[in-house]
Structure 1
Amino acid sequence: MQQNYKSVEVSQVVISELMLPSHSNFNGKIHGGYILSLLDQIAFACASKHSRAYCVTASVDTVDFLKPIEIGELVTMKASVNYVGRSSMVIGIRVESENIQTGDIKHCNSSYFTMVAKDKEGNSIEVPGLVLKSDDEIRRFAKSIKRKEMKDFRVNEFHETDFASEKYLHILEDHKAKIEMHS
Protein backbone atom coordinates (compact mmCIF):
# COMPACT_ATOMS: atom_id res chain seq x y z
CA MET A 1 0.00 0.00 0.00
CA GLN A 2 1.27 3.47 -0.88
CA GLN A 3 1.77 5.44 2.33
CA ASN A 4 0.55 9.02 2.14
CA TYR A 5 1.86 11.89 4.24
CA LYS A 6 0.40 15.19 5.35
CA SER A 7 2.10 18.27 6.69
CA VAL A 8 1.37 19.41 10.23
CA GLU A 9 -0.26 22.68 9.17
CA VAL A 10 -3.03 21.09 7.07
CA SER A 11 -4.55 19.51 10.19
CA GLN A 12 -4.05 22.35 12.66
CA VAL A 13 -7.15 23.64 14.40
CA VAL A 14 -7.61 26.85 16.38
CA ILE A 15 -10.69 27.65 18.46
CA SER A 16 -11.49 30.64 20.65
CA GLU A 17 -14.24 31.00 23.20
CA LEU A 18 -15.20 33.69 25.67
CA MET A 19 -15.26 32.33 29.24
CA LEU A 20 -18.64 32.89 30.89
CA PRO A 21 -19.70 32.78 34.55
CA SER A 22 -21.46 29.47 33.82
CA HIS A 23 -18.01 27.94 33.13
CA SER A 24 -16.63 28.86 36.56
CA ASN A 25 -15.93 26.77 39.64
CA PHE A 26 -16.68 27.65 43.28
CA ASN A 27 -13.53 29.78 43.41
CA GLY A 28 -14.60 32.01 40.53
CA LYS A 29 -12.05 30.59 38.07
CA ILE A 30 -12.89 28.64 34.93
CA HIS A 31 -13.54 25.01 35.85
CA GLY A 32 -10.79 22.60 34.76
CA GLY A 33 -13.42 20.09 33.68
CA TYR A 34 -14.85 22.59 31.22
CA ILE A 35 -11.38 23.18 29.76
CA LEU A 36 -10.87 19.38 29.51
CA SER A 37 -14.11 19.13 27.52
CA LEU A 38 -12.91 21.80 25.09
CA LEU A 39 -9.50 20.08 24.85
CA ASP A 40 -11.18 16.79 23.92
CA GLN A 41 -13.26 18.53 21.25
CA ILE A 42 -10.28 20.22 19.58
CA ALA A 43 -8.20 17.03 19.80
CA PHE A 44 -11.03 15.18 18.02
CA ALA A 45 -11.25 17.88 15.34
CA CYS A 46 -7.50 17.93 14.70
CA ALA A 47 -7.14 14.12 14.61
CA SER A 48 -10.21 13.71 12.40
CA LYS A 49 -8.93 16.39 10.04
CA HIS A 50 -5.57 14.59 9.73
CA SER A 51 -7.02 11.08 9.33
CA ARG A 52 -10.27 12.02 7.55
CA ALA A 53 -11.92 9.48 9.84
CA TYR A 54 -13.88 9.29 13.06
CA CYS A 55 -11.46 9.40 16.00
CA VAL A 56 -11.72 8.39 19.64
CA THR A 57 -9.72 9.51 22.64
CA ALA A 58 -7.40 6.68 23.65
CA SER A 59 -5.65 8.54 26.46
CA VAL A 60 -4.99 11.92 27.90
CA ASP A 61 -1.26 11.70 28.33
CA THR A 62 -0.59 15.05 29.96
CA VAL A 63 -2.67 17.99 31.08
CA ASP A 64 -0.69 20.69 32.82
CA PHE A 65 -2.80 23.49 34.27
CA LEU A 66 -0.26 26.31 34.49
CA LYS A 67 -2.34 29.42 35.25
CA PRO A 68 -5.99 29.95 36.15
CA ILE A 69 -8.39 31.30 33.54
CA GLU A 70 -10.67 34.14 34.60
CA ILE A 71 -14.30 34.80 33.71
CA GLY A 72 -14.44 37.20 30.76
CA GLU A 73 -11.14 36.10 29.23
CA LEU A 74 -10.94 34.89 25.64
CA VAL A 75 -9.49 31.38 25.57
CA THR A 76 -7.72 30.24 22.42
CA MET A 77 -6.71 26.62 21.87
CA LYS A 78 -4.22 25.63 19.17
CA ALA A 79 -4.02 21.95 18.24
CA SER A 80 -1.48 20.17 16.03
CA VAL A 81 -0.66 16.58 15.20
CA ASN A 82 2.68 16.03 16.94
CA TYR A 83 3.12 12.31 16.21
CA VAL A 84 1.50 9.51 14.23
CA GLY A 85 1.68 5.77 14.68
CA ARG A 86 -0.18 3.18 12.63
CA SER A 87 -3.67 4.26 13.71
CA SER A 88 -2.91 6.66 16.56
CA MET A 89 -2.02 10.33 16.66
CA VAL A 90 -0.70 12.48 19.49
CA ILE A 91 -2.37 15.86 19.42
CA GLY A 92 -0.52 18.66 21.17
CA ILE A 93 -2.69 21.51 22.40
CA ARG A 94 -1.63 24.91 23.69
CA VAL A 95 -4.18 26.96 25.65
CA GLU A 96 -3.83 30.71 26.02
CA SER A 97 -6.17 33.18 27.63
CA GLU A 98 -6.40 36.84 26.77
CA ASN A 99 -7.70 39.62 28.95
CA ILE A 100 -9.66 41.35 26.21
CA GLN A 101 -9.58 44.70 28.05
CA THR A 102 -5.78 44.86 28.53
CA GLY A 103 -4.61 42.56 25.72
CA ASP A 104 -2.47 40.56 28.18
CA ILE A 105 -2.04 36.95 27.04
CA LYS A 106 -1.00 34.07 29.31
CA HIS A 107 -0.12 30.45 28.57
CA CYS A 108 -2.58 28.50 30.73
CA ASN A 109 -2.33 24.90 29.68
CA SER A 110 -0.42 22.39 27.59
CA SER A 111 -1.98 19.03 26.81
CA TYR A 112 -1.30 15.86 24.86
CA PHE A 113 -4.17 13.63 23.73
CA THR A 114 -3.70 10.28 22.00
CA MET A 115 -6.44 9.78 19.45
CA VAL A 116 -7.16 6.66 17.36
CA ALA A 117 -8.81 6.64 13.92
CA LYS A 118 -11.71 4.21 13.47
CA ASP A 119 -13.79 2.92 10.58
CA LYS A 120 -17.60 2.58 10.62
CA GLU A 121 -17.34 -0.84 12.31
CA GLY A 122 -15.13 0.53 15.07
CA ASN A 123 -11.89 -1.03 13.85
CA SER A 124 -8.67 0.97 14.03
CA ILE A 125 -7.52 2.21 10.64
CA GLU A 126 -4.18 3.42 9.32
CA VAL A 127 -3.56 7.15 9.34
CA PRO A 128 -1.37 9.24 7.02
CA GLY A 129 2.23 9.82 8.00
CA LEU A 130 3.51 13.23 9.02
CA VAL A 131 5.77 15.51 7.01
CA LEU A 132 8.07 17.37 9.42
CA LYS A 133 9.21 20.76 8.09
CA SER A 134 10.82 22.52 11.06
CA ASP A 135 12.96 21.95 14.12
CA ASP A 136 9.83 22.47 16.29
CA GLU A 137 7.93 19.76 14.42
CA ILE A 138 10.87 17.35 14.69
CA ARG A 139 11.21 18.17 18.43
CA ARG A 140 7.48 17.58 19.04
CA PHE A 141 7.56 14.26 17.17
CA ALA A 142 10.68 13.09 19.06
CA LYS A 143 9.28 14.21 22.44
CA SER A 144 6.09 12.28 21.70
CA ILE A 145 8.19 9.15 21.15
CA LYS A 146 9.94 9.76 24.50
CA ARG A 147 6.58 10.28 26.28
CA LYS A 148 5.30 7.02 24.73
CA GLU A 149 8.40 5.16 25.96
CA MET A 150 7.97 6.59 29.48
CA LYS A 151 4.27 5.69 29.43
CA ASP A 152 5.07 2.12 28.36
CA PHE A 153 7.58 1.90 31.23
CA ARG A 154 4.96 3.18 33.74
CA VAL A 155 2.37 0.70 32.48
CA ASN A 156 4.84 -2.18 32.84
CA GLU A 157 5.86 -0.97 36.31
CA PHE A 158 2.22 -0.66 37.36
CA HIS A 159 1.41 -4.21 36.27
CA GLU A 160 4.42 -5.65 38.06
CA THR A 161 3.47 -9.05 39.51
CA ASP A 162 6.43 -9.71 41.80
CA PHE A 163 5.81 -6.76 44.13
CA ALA A 164 7.75 -6.79 47.39
CA SER A 165 7.34 -3.75 49.62
CA GLU A 166 10.92 -3.89 50.88
CA LYS A 167 12.10 -3.01 47.34
CA TYR A 168 10.27 0.33 47.66
CA LEU A 169 10.83 1.42 51.26
CA HIS A 170 13.84 3.59 50.33
CA ILE A 171 11.64 5.56 47.91
CA LEU A 172 9.20 6.46 50.72
CA GLU A 173 11.82 7.90 53.09
CA ASP A 174 11.50 11.55 52.02
CA HIS A 175 7.73 11.52 51.64
CA LYS A 176 4.74 11.97 53.94
CA ALA A 177 4.23 8.30 54.64
CA LYS A 178 4.37 6.50 57.98
CA ILE A 179 4.66 2.74 57.78
CA GLU A 180 2.92 0.73 60.50
CA MET A 181 2.81 -2.82 59.20
CA HIS A 182 1.43 -5.52 61.46
CA SER A 183 2.73 -9.05 61.18
Structure 2
Amino acid sequence: MQTQYKTPEESRVVLSMLMLPSHANFSGKIHGGHVLSLIDQIAFACASKHSNNYCVTASVDVVDFLAPIEVGEMVTLKATVNYVGNTSMVIGIRVDAEDIKSGTKKHCNSSYVTMVAKDEKGNTVKVPGLKLSTETHVRRFAREIRRKGLKRESAQVMKATNFNADEYVEQLKNHKVELN
Protein backbone atom coordinates (compact mmCIF):
# COMPACT_ATOMS: atom_id res chain seq x y z
CA MET A 1 0.00 0.00 0.00
CA GLN A 2 1.36 3.40 -0.97
CA THR A 3 1.68 5.95 1.83
CA GLN A 4 -0.84 8.76 1.68
CA TYR A 5 0.12 12.32 2.55
CA LYS A 6 -1.91 15.34 3.61
CA THR A 7 -0.90 18.95 4.10
CA PRO A 8 -1.37 20.58 7.49
CA GLU A 9 -3.98 22.85 5.88
CA GLU A 10 -6.14 19.86 4.90
CA SER A 11 -6.59 18.96 8.56
CA ARG A 12 -6.59 22.45 10.08
CA VAL A 13 -9.52 23.23 12.36
CA VAL A 14 -10.60 26.65 13.67
CA LEU A 15 -13.14 27.11 16.44
CA SER A 16 -14.46 30.46 17.72
CA MET A 17 -16.84 30.95 20.60
CA LEU A 18 -17.97 33.63 22.99
CA MET A 19 -16.88 33.14 26.59
CA LEU A 20 -19.87 33.16 28.93
CA PRO A 21 -20.17 33.76 32.69
CA SER A 22 -20.76 30.01 33.10
CA HIS A 23 -17.17 29.46 31.87
CA ALA A 24 -15.66 31.71 34.58
CA ASN A 25 -13.87 30.79 37.78
CA PHE A 26 -14.29 32.57 41.13
CA SER A 27 -12.01 35.42 40.07
CA GLY A 28 -14.13 36.16 37.02
CA LYS A 29 -11.62 34.87 34.46
CA ILE A 30 -12.33 31.96 32.13
CA HIS A 31 -11.51 28.75 33.98
CA GLY A 32 -8.31 27.03 32.81
CA GLY A 33 -10.14 23.72 32.87
CA HIS A 34 -12.66 25.04 30.36
CA VAL A 35 -9.83 26.13 28.06
CA LEU A 36 -8.19 22.69 28.42
CA SER A 37 -11.48 21.03 27.48
CA LEU A 38 -11.71 23.17 24.33
CA ILE A 39 -8.08 22.33 23.50
CA ASP A 40 -8.80 18.61 23.81
CA GLN A 41 -11.90 18.91 21.63
CA ILE A 42 -10.14 20.78 18.82
CA ALA A 43 -7.13 18.43 19.00
CA PHE A 44 -9.56 15.51 18.54
CA ALA A 45 -11.22 17.22 15.57
CA CYS A 46 -7.92 18.02 13.86
CA ALA A 47 -6.40 14.57 14.42
CA SER A 48 -9.57 12.78 13.33
CA LYS A 49 -9.75 14.91 10.20
CA HIS A 50 -6.12 14.06 9.36
CA SER A 51 -6.38 10.33 10.09
CA ASN A 52 -9.99 9.74 9.01
CA ASN A 53 -10.37 7.77 12.24
CA TYR A 54 -11.48 8.21 15.82
CA CYS A 55 -8.57 9.54 17.91
CA VAL A 56 -7.73 9.54 21.59
CA THR A 57 -5.53 11.86 23.62
CA ALA A 58 -2.20 10.23 24.49
CA SER A 59 -0.52 13.21 26.15
CA VAL A 60 -0.61 16.94 26.57
CA ASP A 61 3.00 18.05 26.49
CA VAL A 62 2.95 21.79 26.81
CA VAL A 63 0.19 24.06 28.03
CA ASP A 64 1.32 27.63 28.51
CA PHE A 65 -1.29 30.01 29.89
CA LEU A 66 0.03 33.37 28.70
CA ALA A 67 -2.86 35.76 29.38
CA PRO A 68 -6.22 35.49 31.13
CA ILE A 69 -9.41 35.28 29.09
CA GLU A 70 -12.28 37.53 30.16
CA VAL A 71 -16.00 36.84 30.14
CA GLY A 72 -17.44 38.34 26.94
CA GLU A 73 -14.31 37.84 24.84
CA MET A 74 -14.40 35.88 21.59
CA VAL A 75 -11.96 32.97 21.84
CA THR A 76 -10.50 31.42 18.70
CA LEU A 77 -8.63 28.11 18.78
CA LYS A 78 -6.55 27.04 15.78
CA ALA A 79 -5.33 23.46 15.51
CA THR A 80 -2.80 22.11 13.02
CA VAL A 81 -1.04 18.77 12.61
CA ASN A 82 2.62 19.59 13.30
CA TYR A 83 4.05 16.06 13.32
CA VAL A 84 3.01 12.51 12.46
CA GLY A 85 4.42 9.16 13.52
CA ASN A 86 3.06 5.74 12.58
CA THR A 87 -0.18 5.94 14.54
CA SER A 88 0.15 9.25 16.37
CA MET A 89 0.01 12.92 15.55
CA VAL A 90 1.12 16.00 17.46
CA ILE A 91 -1.42 18.77 17.18
CA GLY A 92 -0.26 22.34 17.74
CA ILE A 93 -2.96 24.60 19.15
CA ARG A 94 -3.04 28.35 19.48
CA VAL A 95 -5.69 30.11 21.57
CA ASP A 96 -6.38 33.81 21.00
CA ALA A 97 -8.97 36.05 22.64
CA GLU A 98 -10.54 39.17 21.19
CA ASP A 99 -12.33 41.97 22.99
CA ILE A 100 -15.32 42.25 20.69
CA LYS A 101 -15.91 45.92 21.58
CA SER A 102 -12.39 47.22 20.91
CA GLY A 103 -11.15 44.53 18.53
CA THR A 104 -8.02 44.08 20.67
CA LYS A 105 -6.57 40.58 20.30
CA LYS A 106 -4.20 38.68 22.58
CA HIS A 107 -2.43 35.33 22.43
CA CYS A 108 -3.63 33.43 25.51
CA ASN A 109 -2.40 29.88 25.21
CA SER A 110 -0.20 27.53 23.20
CA SER A 111 -0.46 23.76 23.51
CA TYR A 112 0.87 20.54 21.98
CA VAL A 113 -1.35 17.47 22.19
CA THR A 114 -0.40 13.97 21.04
CA MET A 115 -3.34 12.07 19.58
CA VAL A 116 -3.47 8.40 18.54
CA ALA A 117 -5.70 7.08 15.74
CA LYS A 118 -7.93 4.08 16.53
CA ASP A 119 -10.19 1.82 14.51
CA GLU A 120 -13.70 0.66 15.48
CA LYS A 121 -12.23 -2.12 17.65
CA GLY A 122 -9.90 0.24 19.53
CA ASN A 123 -6.73 -0.88 17.75
CA THR A 124 -4.20 1.73 16.68
CA VAL A 125 -4.11 2.46 12.96
CA LYS A 126 -1.54 4.06 10.70
CA VAL A 127 -2.03 7.73 9.88
CA PRO A 128 -1.27 9.54 6.62
CA GLY A 129 2.11 11.20 6.28
CA LEU A 130 2.53 14.95 6.40
CA LYS A 131 3.26 16.92 3.24
CA LEU A 132 5.63 19.74 4.23
CA SER A 133 5.54 22.51 1.65
CA THR A 134 6.44 25.66 3.59
CA GLU A 135 9.21 26.76 5.90
CA THR A 136 6.65 26.95 8.73
CA HIS A 137 5.63 23.31 8.17
CA VAL A 138 9.28 22.18 8.24
CA ARG A 139 10.06 24.28 11.34
CA ARG A 140 7.07 22.87 13.26
CA PHE A 141 7.91 19.28 12.31
CA ALA A 142 11.61 19.73 13.20
CA ARG A 143 10.78 21.37 16.53
CA GLU A 144 8.54 18.44 17.37
CA ILE A 145 11.34 15.98 16.60
CA ARG A 146 13.53 17.97 19.00
CA ARG A 147 10.79 18.22 21.67
CA LYS A 148 10.23 14.44 21.48
CA GLY A 149 13.99 13.84 21.81
CA LEU A 150 14.23 16.08 24.87
CA LYS A 151 11.24 14.37 26.46
CA ARG A 152 12.80 10.94 25.85
CA GLU A 153 16.17 12.09 27.26
CA SER A 154 14.51 13.56 30.34
CA ALA A 155 12.55 10.35 30.97
CA GLN A 156 15.75 8.29 30.70
CA VAL A 157 17.60 10.56 33.12
CA MET A 158 14.78 10.44 35.67
CA LYS A 159 14.46 6.67 35.35
CA ALA A 160 18.21 6.07 35.63
CA THR A 161 18.74 8.38 38.57
CA ASN A 162 18.84 6.69 41.94
CA PHE A 163 17.14 9.29 44.06
CA ASN A 164 18.85 10.00 47.34
CA ALA A 165 17.13 12.84 49.20
CA ASP A 166 20.26 13.57 51.26
CA GLU A 167 22.03 14.72 48.09
CA TYR A 168 19.41 17.45 47.61
CA VAL A 169 19.16 18.86 51.16
CA GLU A 170 21.44 21.83 50.42
CA GLN A 171 19.50 22.64 47.24
CA LEU A 172 16.20 22.40 49.10
CA LYS A 173 17.33 25.10 51.53
CA ASN A 174 17.22 27.58 48.63
CA HIS A 175 13.51 26.90 48.14
CA LYS A 176 10.43 27.69 50.14
CA VAL A 177 10.40 24.52 52.24
CA GLU A 178 10.80 23.70 55.88
CA LEU A 179 12.92 20.67 56.70
CA ASN A 180 12.15 18.84 59.95
**2:175 match: secondary structure:** coil
Task: Name the residue aligned to 2:163.
Answer: 163
| Aligned residue identity for 1:46 | C
Task: Name the residue aligned to 1:71.
Answer: 71
User: 1:90 and 2:90 equivalent?
Assistant: yes
| Aligned residue identity for 1:21 | P
Task: Name the residue aligned to 1:37.
Answer: 37
User: 1:136 and 2:144 equivalent?
Assistant: no
Structure 1 ranges of 4+ moved more than 6 A: none
Correspondence 1:18-33 to 2 at 5 A? 18-33=18-33
Q: Percent identity?
A: 61
User: 1:118 and 2:129 equivalent?
Assistant: no
Further displaced range: 108-117 or 155-164: 155-164
Report how far residue 134 of structure 1 moved.
Answer: 1.1
Report how far residue 68 of structure 1 moved.
Answer: 0.2
Cα deviation 1:116-163 (Å, max 9, x = unaligned): 000111111110010111111111111111111122123223333633
TM (norm. structure 2) is: 0.93
Query: How many residue pairs align between the two structures?
Result: 180
**1:67 match: secondary structure:** coil
Cα deviation 1:68-114 (Å, max 9, x = unaligned): 00000000000000000000000000000000000000000000000
| Aligned residue identity for 2:20 | L
CA distance in 1, matches of 2:179, 2:158: 21
Unaligned stretches of 5+ residues in structure 2: none
**1:153 match: secondary structure:** helix
TM (norm. structure 1) is: 0.92
Task: Name the residue aligned to 1:55.
Answer: 55
Summarize the Cα distance change of 1:168–1:5 in structure 2 as closer, same or farther, 3 Å threshold. Answer: farther
Task: Name the residue aligned to 2:100.
Answer: 100
